[in-house]
Structure 1
Amino acid sequence: MRNDPYDDVDDVPHLSAKDDDDDFVVGSEARDRTTVYSRTTPVVKVKGPSTGPLWALVGALFIAFCGLGWWSFQQVSLMEQQLVATQESFARISEEAAGRLQDISGKVVATESLSSDGEALKQRIKLLEAQLEDQDKQREGVEGQQGSLDKRLEQMAAQTAQQQTENAQTQEQLKSVVAELAALKTALPDLKTAQAEQGKLDAQIKSVAADVATLKKQGNPSAAVERLEQD
């Protein structure tokens, strides 16, 4: 329905049913049969909802949760204790099993060692034989090196003897040179004196030669030349 401000409630026509508008006339018996009598409906007062049961439910749930938490804590503690006990038992069992395994492994190793002693000895013998062969080869090589070293030592000894002989000869030569030097030092003053006399003689010879040349220029200087030659 449209909400129009021009609508007026007073303009709504009044509807009513009248007896004279009926198309047919109803009798009293029919009227009694068709008449409906209504009962008065009792008025029930509606009250607001009560919160007491709700709070009771909340308290019950809280208590239940607290009890569940305590029970869970107890169960967890019990499970921890059981776990610790189980771990300890497992540790003991593992230690016992390890000891048994060590015993069994020791027995197995002893059995295997007894069964493999023969092969180990054979391998050891083969290894020793190979080492002996290597030592023989090394000994032969060492002997060869020893022979070459002996030859080298002999050569060095011969060279040393030759050097000693040469050193002795050199020492003798040095001794003779030292003696000659000493003699030269001793004869050095006489040599100087002889050199001085030789200088004097040279001067005299030069003067005589000059006189001879002068006499030859004078002619027939035989007597003077003879005298000078005698001088």
Structure 2
Amino acid sequence: MNPVAETTGLTVEVAGRLLLDGVDLTIRPGRITALVGPSGSGKTTTGRALLGAFPPGARVTGRIRVPGPGAVGYVPQHPAAVLHPVRRAGALLADIAALRPGTRRERRERVERALRQARLPDPGTVLRRYPHQLSGGQQQRVVLAQALLLGARLIVADEPTTGQDPVTRQGLVETLADVAAQGVAVVLLSHDHDVVRRLADETVLLKAGRVVRAGPTAEVLPAPAPPAPRRSA
């Protein structure tokens, strides 16, 4: 299976400080790859590099290969930041659908298909609302639907479960699993190891900008041992 995206020896330096130091990454279609590690480990820098975004003044060396324009989607931790505040969700999606040729019916069908892929509940109600009227989970799904409408072959999801209640977290896990099952590659940046164990096929552990371990999630992040049974007095 040919990779959707790759980095080889990716190094990012800002003002003499190494943010990434020779990161090699292979992302395959239909697979979920998690990037984990402590704050400052390079997860976000790596994820944003796949989007072609680097810190101001960055010196970048190595190689990055990603799909063409529009083929890499981004679901940020705070999705409201990338939604137009005075456009209803339905209008936002209709604008994107209109970027490709087709009849009004074909554009509507594309929007409906993207909503199904993003598993947006009660789309009729959601599409009539402005971003500030949506929950965090609904905002995430609208952003995801936008990326799918643009033909994304790779989705970068940045801490998508942070601050979410258990029901919303479970729904998002199922949504990302569904997206991957349809052949889209997913890169998950996360501190939530429980979610990573449930969702990711492969995991890359970063520390101080370097890959310290990579492989199947069960090997990189083995499940913690159950607590020892209490001894009766």
Which has the larger helix fraction? 1
Whichever of the two has the greater Rg, that structure is 1
TM-score by length of 2: 0.11
Which has the larger strand fraction? 2
Higher relative contact order (CA 8 A, sep 6+): 2
TM-score by length of 1: 0.11
